[in-house]
Structure 1
Amino acid sequence: MNIRKTVKKIAALVAGTTMLGATIMGAAADLSDYPAPFVTNGVFDGKIVVGASAATSDVVGAIDIAASLQAEATSTQEISIPGIAGMASVTGDAAEFKTGSDIVRIGESIGDVKQTFTHNDLDALASGVFDTGESSTPVKQYLKFGNTTASVVYEQNGDDEVMDYLKFDDGSFMFEYHMEFTEGAVSDIGTGGALDDLESEVITLLGAPFTIVDATVDGSELDLSMLGGEVADTLRDGETKTYTIDGKDYEVTAVFISSSSPESAKLSVNGMLTKELEEGETDVLGADVTIGVQEILTNQREGIVEFYLGANKLEIRDSDFTNGAYAEETVKVGGERIDNAWLDLKATNTTDELTLNYIKYKVAADDDYWIPPGKGLKEFLDEPESMITDTWDVLYAGLMKSSVTTIEFNSVSDHSYKLEFENYNGDVYDFPLLTNKDGTYKYGDDDDDLLFIEPYSRTPTGGDNDTFVSDDDYFVVSDGAVDINSDTAVVNVMRYKSISTGDSTVTFEDLAADVVVVSFTGTPGAGASGELIVAGASHTFWVGGVGTGQEDYALAIDLDGDGGINSKKVLLVTRGGGIIDLGTQTFTGANNCTGGGCNPDVALTANTVINISTPIDNFDESTDAGTTWLSVAITNITAGNEIDLDVTEPSLYEWHEDEDYDRGMTSYGVFVEEYNPSGTEANEAIIEYPLAQRGGQAFVVAGTVSVQEGTAAGGGSVTTEVVNPIAVGLAVLDTDAPALGSKNMIMVGGPCVNTVAAELMGNPEVCTEGFTPGKAVIKLYTAQNALLVAGYSAQDTLGASYVLSDYEDYDLTGTEVEVVVTSLRDIDVNPVS
């Protein structure tokens, strides 16, 4: 038998104890400014004064007050994070799928980044204690996402809308919820398998309180029924109260309460009558309100009904609580069975006692769900009740904001392409890439070539057979060796403009800067050479002669600045670290380059694939190496000497706002848009390469939250709550206190035990003057910057300290309130007019 529970029920019946979950009309709703002025802008300023001769309980009260003030001594701080994408922040009870620097990469499961959320992450998962009267056990809650395939994607949803989403796949588990009773919740097994010690106990699931209204065991089957809601209160027979939920008033009347077995009640909500309800039953009135009866108590004179308004009934059943395994068991919310729900109730039992160890619950998606930025999972579920309560959600805040650099493949009519990109230093280059004009498919334009590969590995002699850059040709140089993991090389696109043999100079043009005139020494065709300095790197060039198959005064150039010509390919490096591989370039007489110089081979293959990749070190995780490629295939169309392109990777989707555009995104967050004009013009592509990895941001949220977008910059900021520690010396004895009025002070204890309190009250001759047994006061003395917390007895003072510590639970209005301390478990607060 649970004596504590029985006493509680009797007290409720006799005294009409009321538990409120919403605003009762007519009651004062405004609060005082406390903890101001003792905490201002998140910083404590003041002293707590305790009498040197005070009882120990005064010290206990002061400690509680100090603890509550420390909890309020916090402030928000915006922390700048240089060199990363701007991140959204969520204010409220929220936790992000993020572990250290590991973010949710596009295409990555959110559970791979963060599998489990606990009380350390969310207040809604707070730990607690569950006391059945037979036992008391700590309770822990977890939300788990290790088995979900939910990921951030950039694709087309079921309505053909192309954008980024948090996607939950049909058939995959969306989440798991665990509640563990670490030492076991114990109940006697009564008549008919009733677990009386579990019934009427309150259990908090995901931040929402539920009362167990029915609990039974039958063999290895365990059934639990619970009621929760917006308002929990009690009404006497015929009594009426008004409640406000989400701005709407609900007038509830207990029309009658029947003591006949089984006990029942009939209620009215805004004039609508419920059916006759027994304990644990609910009724839906109209379209927006559910009411449920938790408990009915009657005696010979009257009855009282404990009910929930906005009720949520949860029923769970495990047909075998001994096997510790998930099964598709019965889970009902609001009387409706949840599809694809899996449940595991684990318990042990004897003939007369059952111990509940844990509740585990998970739900599989019954369709593909695409969650757009700013939205939550619950809104898109066919059965939002499957999330058990409406107190929590999985929110997708969208992609991180990042500045970008653009890479453009622009068509020239239907026969050529130009490439535009921004190098590591921010210099923008726009140059001929490929052409098929007049049926000659090659790098460059129809008149001049583009060189980005050194054709051989040897030291040039300056002879004609060594040269490969002719007059007006374009060539690419870098300040060091470049491979797919070199993201800091400075790459420049140059042009060989002219030569003056009279003064031994060569003129080069940096396409993003100025013309450069460079001297050379020696005789052209016989070892003449010079040094071209670009971006601080030296590139040796050799000058060829005249009258051979190669154009007059062609050059051989060290493209990568390593001091020689070694068959190196120069890769383009963009701002932000993107690597552009222009493809394969071959030469006539490859390696030997005999027979009149090294001419770029014009016989390119039908498809030239240009790859854009991201170095491994730029990812949040090194395991992502090689997973992000963007491939542009440029095709030689022999009929009509045309050219075209197609982005083959990543997957592109027709944009829902204009069918001429296809869009996609790599796992690094590189956005690509391909333009497919309806006429005969060649396709074009524009690529936005982020300056930092652009991942997705998903949060588990509870209650009311707000989302602040990150800024579109190379860096971002996050807002965090900072605890401002209260310095040592917070509490002082009255004998050491500063002068009254010189500092904000909270006096704990009255004039009999606290000399500063006595001074504050004018040093009354009788120290108990104005105090009544069983009562205390909390009084603000504005002129003295002081707050008095004092009672007739030490217990009364401690009761008032409890009230001040939990000030948010009480109406502390005006400058003074009376605290009635019947016991430390039975405290009331009354305003003083």
Structure 2
Amino acid sequence: MFNFRKISAILTGAVMIGSTAGFAAAANFPTGFTSSTPAIVYGASAPPSADLTAANSISSYLADKVPTSGGTPTGDSVMIGKSSDHLNINNTWAVLTGTINNDDLSILLADGTYSASDSDTYDYEQTIILGKPELKHFRDSDYEEAAGLSDKTPVIGFQIPSSTWVMNYTLQFTSDPESDVVSGEAEDIETSVIPLLGKEYYVSDFDVSGGSAGFLGKLTLLDSAEVGSVSEGETATVGGHEVGIAFIDNDEVKFTVDGVVVPGNDKLSKGETHKLSDGSFIGVRDISKLEVSGETGSVSFSIGTGKLEITSGSDIKLNDDTITGLKGWVYNGSGTATTIKVDKIEIEWKTDDEAFVSPVVDLTMPGFKAVKFSMNDLKRNEEEKIIVERDSGTNIELSLPIKDGNVNFDILYANATGDLVGIGKASDDRLATSGNTTLKYYEKQSGADYHKYFVASYATTTDSESYLLRAKIAYDSGDNRNETTIDKYSGAVNDWVEVCGGKIAGDDCDIGDVTFTITSVQYTAGGNETALFTASSNVNFSTIYTAGGLKIQLPYPVISGSANTPGAFQINDTDSVGSGEEYTPNSTATAGYGMASYGMHFFDEDKDDNVAAGDAFNITIDDTSDNNLQISQVNGAVSGGVAINNIQNAGLELGETSSYETYIKDDVASRIIHYTKPNEDYVEIYYPTGDSETYAEAYLSEASSSSTGEAGNMVYMDSEKDQWKDKNVILVGGSCVNTATAEALGVTSGTCGSDWVAKTSVGENKYLIQIVADKFSTGKIALIAAGYSADDTKAATDRLVNEPETVATTAGNAYIWTVGVTGTDVCLSGC
């Protein structure tokens, strides 16, 4: 069975990592804001405490409605994984190698001593061996129902098919308990208490006959049994029930339990049980009655809350109902003709239906309900974002963070029919690249603009950095020499900055760890203005590295017939001087390497942040039926990729957005969102920065344990947009004080007073609640709660908290109320 977990939110802490869509069909608040932790945004310029207080009231209201972001279980638990081998996407529970024992679960699997009913004692050990469910990225409507989600919600967790082995539990006796066998019963084990998985079970019956070779027959256990005895003519209160004897002879008995004769039309023999009206069981331990007139009989009995039957090789029964997938075996030791020995008891757990483990859904062992599996959110550092999208109909632009900040530049351009014809933005605005250690940069070719920028990168096994550069060629008449000046683009100042000025042939240019030599400089007025650069050790002109360490292969020209390697853009060479500076695209190039389409390649780090040592993936740049460029595929398939190589599966849709998410199946797990709703598709790649390894903390623990996770921070200022823009958001306060509200409404920030009224029709003593979609992030919604004044805004947030059923969170809805006495506000529109 699996259980849904929720926990209160607090105003600090880690935000749950995951992907949800914000659209909900005709549902009321807080629908759309409970699938994952939302953002509640107030204006940084709002009067102190006014809108913040209103925002906090919504946070408090949502606290127990937002799923927990996991947490470490309290009580007896063990993490599935090791510090040296974390549980990464595509890993299974096998990362926790070996057997789990009392060193890992000191209570559940404690060593101990079993005492038989004849007072003989025997030592035992307990162990668990785990199955191999896989940590994966999945979307499942059954999971969404179990987790209380209304949208299509991809998640990282365990989607465990039916009949999947979960674990084996073993109670191993180091000295085998021995019992006499009387009438097929192990009489020295019956009426004893056996420990299993941290609980004690009363042995109501142990029929040793009927077992297959090597195994004993049926073991009947009562959970939490209380033991008592009663004689004819008397009553005894045991387990909250008043028990008497209605009939007794030397081997059978009928009870009265709370005035009712049980069993009604039958009798019970020693070792048999009967289910009472409250679900508990009464079992016969012993009957004392001789066939002598006038003798008073007595019976020893037990009352337990549940009955478990373990028949070797069969599904275990709980309260006479079969638990499909939970099998038990009682292993026979080396007994004699009149005795048996118990070597061990083993329980195998396989799922009887599809099951799940996620940060909000636990999986509890059926029947015994002794252990459960749970997990936290992914342990993942803050993500950086890389975008590859259409710049115009004929250009593809790359946007990414590098060492000096965010940069964006075009990498390929096409002609009017959608054929890829060059590297860069246009024939007079090219990106200079090279697949070898030399790069010839043409600022001018035959007097016309040619190259506008190039990339130089440094990379070793453990370090990388890149710079977006340009070269200016000039003739210094004073010194009678040709010179070049190198500028780098700084995202920090959003401008070009000179880094190597007045360089001549033979000089080096040093930029951080990047060094290249100016091999030659050519300047001909009205002709060619060029510089030839030669890379130093570990430097190249064909790749770019993000600040977080993702390697991106840039297109570079190769002569037709060259190998189809990542980055290769096949050309027909027309340069009479060098190789690849002048070319026409090769119309017969292999798909993915030329005019028809181009495969752009990316390379993750490994778990130790070794550069490009993780898995590779690619996206396909192609044209639409309208001849506009787009990103048509991820790893060779539409909608985010397919189940080949390192892609988990086809991209999983976020809500109803036509945007598809997938993760790379390696230890870093690049996250890719493929947006297919516009006419020209594009992708966003989210890459973890710092220590790049991404992993889950999953736990095996006692079922009664709770988790200490939290829903995470919800309240932000509008100035903290980078932290909340990818969430479903609630915007508190009007455009006069909240820049996010202004953006959502499409008005100028600082719109106040009469201007606010003109834009919104929300005047004094009125407030607006409006739901808009896709304003800050595709697939997310924003709910605006804003009044003419701070008091009016508070009335809006009070409505969300106190009368949520009056606000449907469907995108496009807009309501205006007038403020009255609490509970008497009048709806002017939208209701």
TM-score range, shorter chain: 0.5 to 0.7
Superposed, which structure 2 residues align to 1:593-608 within 5 Å? Answer: 594=577, 598-599=581-582, 602-603=585-586, 604-608=594-598
Residue 680 of structure 2: SS of its match in structure 1? coil
Equivalent of residue 551 in structure 2, options 576, 579, 584: 579
Equivalent of residue 520 in structure 1, options 502, 508, 514: 502
1:143 aligns with 2:128: yes
1:390 aligns with 2:369: yes
Q: Residues 165 and 450 from structure 1, CA distance in 2 versus in 1: closer, same or farther, beyond 3 angstroms?
A: farther
Note if contact 2:114-2:123 (Cα within 8 Å) is conserved in structure 1: yes
Cα deviations by residue, 1:126-151 (Å, 9 ceiling, x for unpaired): 11112334853211111112xx3311
Q: Residues 115 and 625 from structure 1, CA distance in 2 versus in 1: closer, same or farther, beyond 3 angstroms?
A: farther
In structure 1, the residue matched to 2:35 is: none
**Separation in structure 2 between the aligned mates of residue 541 and residue 270 of structure 1, nearest angstrom:** 104
In structure 2, the residue matched to 1:266 is: 255
Cα deviations by residue, 1:359-400 (Å, 9 ceiling, x for unpaired): 22323334432333232223xxxxx63xx4012112233422
* Structure 1 residue 703, shift from structure 2 partner: 3.8
In structure 2, the residue matched to 1:207 is: 198
Which runs of 5 or more structure 2 residues have no equivalent in the other structure? Answer: 1-68, 143-151, 290-294, 560-570, 587-593, 636-640, 642-646, 714-831
In structure 2, the residue matched to 1:252 is: 241
1:362 aligns with 2:348: yes
* Structure 1 residue 203, shift from structure 2 partner: 0.8
For 1:516, the aligned partner's letter is V
**Separation in structure 1 between the aligned mates of residue 346 and residue 439 of structure 2, nearest angstrom:** 72
In structure 1, the residue matched to 2:185 is: 194
Residue 373 of structure 1: SS of its match in structure 2? coil
1:554 aligns with 2:530: yes
Total equivalences in the alignment: 580
Q: Residues 457 and 229 from structure 1, CA distance in 2 versus in 1: closer, same or farther, beyond 3 angstroms?
A: closer
Equivalent of residue 535 in structure 1, options 512, 523, 527: 512
Superposed, which structure 2 residues align to 1:102-251 within 5 Å? Answer: 102-122=85-105, 123-132=107-116, 133=118, 135-145=120-130, 148-159=131-142, 161-190=153-182, 192-218=183-209, 221=212, 222-230=216-224, 232-234=226-228, 236=230, 251=240
Cα deviations by residue, 1:336-358 (Å, 9 ceiling, x for unpaired): 23334554432133212211111
Equivalent of residue 443 in structure 1, options 423, 432, 437: 423
Note if contact 1:315-1:331 (Cα within 8 Å) is conserved in structure 2: yes
Note if contact 1:289-1:310 (Cα within 8 Å) is conserved in structure 2: yes
Cα deviations by residue, 1:580-638 (Å, 9 ceiling, x for unpaired): 2235533668698726972466453423222222234537xx9x997633321212458
Note if contact 1:465-1:596 (Cα within 8 Å) is conserved in structure 2: no
Note if contact 1:263-1:296 (Cα within 8 Å) is conserved in structure 2: no
Residue 125 of structure 1: SS of its match in structure 2? coil
**Separation in structure 1 between the aligned mates of residue 352 and residue 556 of structure 2, nearest angstrom:** 48
1:418 aligns with 2:397: yes
**Separation in structure 1 between the aligned mates of residue 502 and residue 114 of structure 2, nearest angstrom:** 88
Q: Residues 161 and 537 from structure 1, CA distance in 2 versus in 1: closer, same or farther, beyond 3 angstroms?
A: closer
1:336 aligns with 2:321: yes
Q: Residues 230 and 344 from structure 1, CA distance in 2 versus in 1: closer, same or farther, beyond 3 angstroms?
A: closer
For 1:492, the aligned partner's letter is Y
1:407 aligns with 2:386: yes
In structure 2, the residue matched to 1:431 is: 409
**Separation in structure 2 between the aligned mates of residue 183 and residue 563 of structure 1, nearest angstrom:** 65
* Structure 1 residue 253, shift from structure 2 partner: 1.9
**Separation in structure 2 between the aligned mates of residue 346 and residue 452 of structure 1, nearest angstrom:** 74
Note if contact 1:662-1:674 (Cα within 8 Å) is conserved in structure 2: yes
Note if contact 1:571-1:579 (Cα within 8 Å) is conserved in structure 2: yes
For 1:706, the aligned partner's letter is S
**Separation in structure 2 between the aligned mates of residue 553 and residue 280 of structure 1, nearest angstrom:** 101
1:630 aligns with 2:641: no
Residue 225 of structure 1: SS of its match in structure 2? strand
Cα deviations by residue, 1:758-782 (Å, 9 ceiling, x for unpaired): xxxxxxxxxxxxxxxxxxxxxxxxx
* Structure 1 residue 476, shift from structure 2 partner: 1.1
Residue 387 of structure 2: SS of its match in structure 1? strand
Note if contact 1:420-1:428 (Cα within 8 Å) is conserved in structure 2: yes
1:508 aligns with 2:487: yes
**Separation in structure 2 between the aligned mates of residue 676 and residue 698 of structure 1, nearest angstrom:** 34
Equivalent of residue 94 in structure 1, options 77, 80, 84: 77
Q: Residues 155 and 415 from structure 1, CA distance in 2 versus in 1: closer, same or farther, beyond 3 angstroms?
A: farther
In structure 1, the residue matched to 2:659 is: 661
* Structure 1 residue 521, shift from structure 2 partner: 5.1
Give the structure-1-normalised TM-score. Answer: 0.61
Note if contact 2:363-2:372 (Cα within 8 Å) is conserved in structure 1: yes
Note if contact 2:407-2:489 (Cα within 8 Å) is conserved in structure 1: no
Residue 186 of structure 2: SS of its match in structure 1? coil
Note if contact 2:358-2:374 (Cα within 8 Å) is conserved in structure 1: no
Note if contact 2:433-2:439 (Cα within 8 Å) is conserved in structure 1: no
% same residue: 16
Residue 104 of structure 1: SS of its match in structure 2? coil
For 2:114, the aligned partner's letter is F
**Separation in structure 2 between the aligned mates of residue 368 and residue 407 of structure 1, nearest angstrom:** 36
Note if contact 1:418-1:433 (Cα within 8 Å) is conserved in structure 2: yes
In structure 1, the residue matched to 2:819 is: none
For 2:502, the aligned partner's letter is F
In structure 2, the residue matched to 1:310 is: 305
Note if contact 1:200-1:212 (Cα within 8 Å) is conserved in structure 2: yes
Superposed, which structure 2 residues align to 1:442-481 within 5 Å? Answer: 442-447=422-427, 451=431, 453-456=433-436, 473-478=452-457, 480-481=458-459
Give the structure-2-normalised TM-score. Answer: 0.61
Equivalent of residue 493 in structure 1, options 459, 468, 484: 468
Note if contact 2:288-2:298 (Cα within 8 Å) is conserved in structure 1: yes
* Structure 1 residue 435, shift from structure 2 partner: 2.5
Residue 94 of structure 2: SS of its match in structure 1? helix
Cα deviations by residue, 1:386-425 (Å, 9 ceiling, x for unpaired): xx401211223342243222222233244322222223x4
Q: Residues 580 and 292 from structure 1, CA distance in 2 versus in 1: closer, same or farther, beyond 3 angstroms?
A: farther
Bigger mean CA offset, 491-500 vs 353-362: 491-500
Note if contact 2:548-2:688 (Cα within 8 Å) is conserved in structure 1: yes
Note if contact 2:185-2:207 (Cα within 8 Å) is conserved in structure 1: yes
Q: Residues 351 and 304 from structure 1, CA distance in 2 versus in 1: closer, same or farther, beyond 3 angstroms?
A: closer
